[in-house]
Structure 1
Amino acid sequence: MQPKNSIRRKPAFPDGMLIVLGVIILCVIVTWFIPSGQYDRILDASGRQIVDPNSFHYIESEKISLLRIPHFIVEGTIAQAEMIFFLLTIGGCYEIVMHTGVLQAIIARMAKWKVRDMAFILVFTLVFAVIAAPAGGVVSFIGFAPIFVMIARAMGYDALVGVSLVLLGGAVGAAAGPITPFTTGVAQGIAELPLYSGLSYRIICMLVLWIVTALFIARYAKKVRLDPSKSYVYDLEQVQKNQEVEKHYDTDLSAQQIAILVIFILGLCLIIYGSLRLNWGNRVHMQIYLCMSVILAIVGKFNPNETVRVFVRGAKGMLAAALVLGLSRSISMILDEALVLDTVIYGCAAILNGLPTLLRGPAMLIANTVVNVFIISGSGQAAAVMPVFIPVADLVGLTRQTAVLAFNFGDGFSNWILPHSAPLMGFIGATSISYGKWFKYFWKLFLLWNALAMALLFIAQLMNYGPF
């Protein structure tokens, strides 16, 4: 018999790295049963490689052995080297800023503000949604996540609220994609639609998703503020509280701290501007973070050894997320080598053909979500699926504009629940939130987003969303 005083512990949610390893093994096994197939690729008028929708054919390929998993993990990690180093530089730069005490002083001052919960959440989720709408991605916002986590904690919330303001706000803008070049722009180009046509309805979709998302965050935030033990990351909050309990931060900023703050804000603004206007990628962002780290250390009067120690300490905090990124890249490499991605796309298109007309918009959303499990990249997914789904839309009575909107939603939502999504792991890694805690918090909103998206697609069908 079990002793009366024994404590039965709940089984722990698997670590994100274990989940990705499980997905890797599952993908290898699945490739044994999905026949290999391929579409022919052709060049369109602009010279971009797209799929010929009428060219699908089955082909012979060798089955992938489980013994090759270590090979894919190594190759995947090498392929993700740029993203991994990107996270390490963000972690190092942010730790240098933290070491100066300037952010802590600002947060201590903000903690004294009397701000309405709903207004605070509405404003900042909208800000990040609007910024992400033309950018199409939120990776460049990762540097903001730890800052907003500190702000949320100062106001009585937890880390999930802080990261949600940045991540989910930006996700809404990117998913609706009003003027996003990498998703909407690419998809409309393949669909031969006028660039950014149908803008007004996509803005309406973004506003609907923004309000629902802000209400979801506010509801959780209010619950945590009234009873901190209701937080999904209560253990993490206790650890952070214990680490901060002996510290006191003066709310008066010195001239040196003001200079550090100005440099840091200008650096982040430069990254956003470069992403929106100059098409800068992660490599340029990394250079800015490295330069900022050196400049901030000089202004903060760190000696060289102290600068290195602090930077490395921050980079270490990103190591777990960086390793998961390496593992996740191996998934797409396995599917590419097994030549099953095109078979999945072909199967989704065949199912769409057999559904009633009014269900085809929502079904196309589901199909794009399925494909996004295998192709995380938005522009990559557009190039792979739109040449197939556009002819399907023509045949089954969907407007091409509705097909583009279904693609936007399918690509934009699932990136924030898949354990092998690089942007997601970057955000939660930067804020020390485990994937299990994030999943427990986010899955209801994920289902709600998809339900709303299906309703919006249904309306798009009824109004013959166009121009065609």
Structure 2
Amino acid sequence: MANRKETPLAPKATRVPDTYIIIFFVVLCAALLTYLIPVGTFETHEISYQMGESTKTRTVLIPETFKIVTDEAGNPVKQGIRLFEPFGEVGVLNYVFEGFVSGSKWGSAVGVMAFILVIGGAFGIILRTGAVEAGLYKMLAKTKGAEAAIIPVMFFLFSLGGAVFGMGEEAIPFVMILVPACVALGYDSITALLISYGATQIGFATSWMNPFSVAIAQGVAQIPVLSGAAFRIALWVGFTLLGIVFTWIYARKVKANPESSLAYASDAFFRDDLAKNKEVQAEFGLGHSLVLLTLTAGMGWVIWGVVRHEYYIPEIATQFFVIGLICGVIGVLFKLGGMTWNTIAESFRDGAKDLVGAAMVVGMAKGIILVLGGDSPTAATVMNTVLHSVGNMISGLHSAVSAWIMYVFQSVFNFFVVSGSGQAALTMPLMAPLADIAGVTRQVAVLAFQLGDGLTNLIVPTSGVLMACLGAARLDWATWARFQIKFQGLLFAVSSVVVVGAVLMGFK
């Protein structure tokens, strides 16, 4: 009887294509656009803005300098991309390799890919020591009856991290710890994702001081950096409470009926692992304590580096590598789980292997932009023409409608340019002067950018951090999307009301 009930449900899990398939078809659509849309260019200039005691500079496009590239006869040029290009050029079928090797160690794509693999390897070592499982059972024994407090407390802290210092990539290692913790508490991996990565992106989207999002957007828009803080703090509080309530209701439902979770099947890995290692509860000793102490101190080191010294991908990756290495040495010296020196190397390799799929998504997603010609304002690309066309569409509409379209556009554009700072540099030079024409304050234009950029990070499969978090939770994107689409719809509706309301109240 049980098999008969489960059989009809199987097709539903395969209705949403794999992430790689989705990206491949987006690449094909992008390639088609290169045959339909003429390429255009902008001129750029460098702007400066104050952020605290520092003077920041940014190269941005000049909206009024846009021009369609024409041939000798004066006809618009359409640079239809070929199927394959030799000598390191970009063709449709080159998108995977070219995406993998694009960028630098400071960002998309190769830097983020390396970051994900190093984080995965480091936590492969940490988890191999068994200290996390031992600590979990110790915690469960001491917090019996108060485990529900983990949801509001952790959600608040992660949301605060997203708001204060743009926490994003830093959420990946926390997911690796929180997923087994939430499963052990009777919740699921989706709950862990909501209170960690989900919370960081809500904080990121509603921040009043995020240096990688709102500060850059305001600087590019030429309005006082970190202005409008009171409104945004209230916004952050409201969205954080909304997220806590949504997560709390969902978590209670899962705890009451674990099989109702879409992640029930994939969470079997964590349930089995916890059951297999349950005997470590009685063996919690000095070695386990030292590993957890190293992990805690290491997390503090990472946060200190980000907040005080603006550490980014290269530094953070190295910090976690050091943390993993020290934990591995402790594991060998205290013979945790029978670890040897070779075990450190094997665990690093296995941990990285678990996140290879997520890392590859970063490169493939970058390939979409490359097929469209790249994201340089001065290069002749389809992307520049699309940006200019959207700007023209907004002018002439009612101010509230214009602001809402800005929000929708930023949400869609985030699928292609997931980087908050990159999106700000590309879109805000256009949106800021258009806001003036449409009767929308530049502060509202920044708000539309913030919400559109930050909240869609929760679902777009082109987000490397999201895919890495899903990989750590052993949850495929299709399953996550089936769950997240409801919350995403709620966030979109509330954000739409906020943007329109900000126009009507004259938010400056």
Normalising TM by the smaller chain, what interval?
over 0.9
For residue 63 of structure 1, the aligned residue among 62, 77, 80 is: 80
Report the equivalent of 1:76: 99
For residue 263 of structure 1, the aligned residue among 277, 288, 294 is: 294
Q: TM-score, normalised by structure 2?
A: 0.87
Report the equivalent of 1:219: 249
Task: Say yes or no: does 1:280 pair with 2:311.
Answer: yes
Task: Say yes or no: does 1:120 pair with 2:150.
Answer: yes
Which residues of structure 2 form unaligned runs of 5+? 50-56, 70-76, 85-90, 103-108, 333-338, 375-379
Alignment partners' CA distance in 2, 1:452 and 1:239:
36
* Stretch moving more, 143-152 or 72-81: 72-81
For residue 168 of structure 1, the aligned residue among 190, 198, 201 is: 198
Say whether the 8 Å CA contact 1:335–1:374 is kept in structure 2: no
The correspondence of residues 39-438 of structure 1 with structure 2, limited to 5 A, is 39-45=42-48, 47-59=57-69, 60-67=77-84, 68-79=91-102, 80-112=109-141, 113-115=143-145, 119-251=149-281, 253-301=284-332, 302-337=339-374, 339-438=381-480
- How far off is 1:216 after superposition? 1.6
Say whether the 8 Å CA contact 1:88–1:319 is kept in structure 2: yes
1:112-167: CA deviations, max 9, x gaps?
42455764322111101111212224111211001111111111011111121111
Alignment partners' CA distance in 2, 1:246 and 1:139:
30
Task: Say yes or no: does 1:29 pair with 2:32.
Answer: yes
Say whether the 8 Å CA contact 1:36–1:61 is kept in structure 2: yes
Q: TM-score, normalised by structure 1?
A: 0.94
Alignment partners' CA distance in 1, 2:280 and 2:325:
25
**Aligned partner letter, 1:319:** V
**Aligned partner letter, 1:379:** S
Note closer, same or farther for the CA distance 1:271–1:449 as it changes in structure 2 (3 Å cut).
same
Give the secondary structure class of the aligned counterpart of 1:376. coil
Alignment partners' CA distance in 1, 2:361 and 2:393:
33
Report the equivalent of 1:10: 11
Alignment partners' CA distance in 1, 2:269 and 2:414:
36
Give the secondary structure class of the aligned counterpart of 1:38. strand
Note closer, same or farther for the CA distance 1:357–1:5 as it changes in structure 2 (3 Å cut).
closer
Percent identity between the two aligned chains:
28
Alignment partners' CA distance in 2, 1:49 and 1:57:
19
**Aligned partner letter, 1:70:** L
Say whether the 8 Å CA contact 1:110–1:151 is kept in structure 2: no
Alignment partners' CA distance in 2, 1:292 and 1:5:
47
Give the secondary structure class of the aligned counterpart of 2:414. helix
Give the secondary structure class of the aligned counterpart of 2:187. coil
Note closer, same or farther for the CA distance 1:164–1:5 as it changes in structure 2 (3 Å cut).
closer
**Aligned partner letter, 2:351:** G
Give the secondary structure class of the aligned counterpart of 2:372. helix
**Aligned partner letter, 1:329:** K
**Aligned partner letter, 1:384:** L
Say whether the 8 Å CA contact 1:37–1:57 is kept in structure 2: yes
**Aligned partner letter, 1:101:** G
Give the secondary structure class of the aligned counterpart of 1:49. strand
- How far off is 1:394 after superposition? 0.8
* Stretch moving more, 392-401 or 8-17: 8-17
Say whether the 8 Å CA contact 2:161–2:167 is kept in structure 1: no
- How far off is 1:239 after superposition? 3.6
RMSD: 2.1
Alignment partners' CA distance in 1, 2:464 and 2:429:
26
Note closer, same or farther for the CA distance 1:244–1:129 as it changes in structure 2 (3 Å cut).
closer
**Aligned partner letter, 1:64:** I
**Aligned partner letter, 1:388:** L
* Stretch moving more, 417-426 or 432-441: 417-426
Say whether the 8 Å CA contact 2:135–2:288 is kept in structure 1: no
Give the secondary structure class of the aligned counterpart of 1:55. strand
Alignment partners' CA distance in 2, 1:116 and 1:43:
54
Report the equivalent of 2:492: 450
Give the secondary structure class of the aligned counterpart of 1:235. coil
Note closer, same or farther for the CA distance 1:388–1:305 as it changes in structure 2 (3 Å cut).
same
- How far off is 1:317 after superposition? 0.8
Alignment partners' CA distance in 1, 2:405 and 2:199:
26
- How far off is 1:242 after superposition? 3.3
Note closer, same or farther for the CA distance 1:235–1:364 as it changes in structure 2 (3 Å cut).
same
Alignment partners' CA distance in 1, 2:478 and 2:436:
41
Alignment partners' CA distance in 1, 2:194 and 2:272:
23
**Aligned partner letter, 1:88:** L
Alignment partners' CA distance in 1, 2:418 and 2:145:
38
Say whether the 8 Å CA contact 1:393–1:400 is kept in structure 2: yes
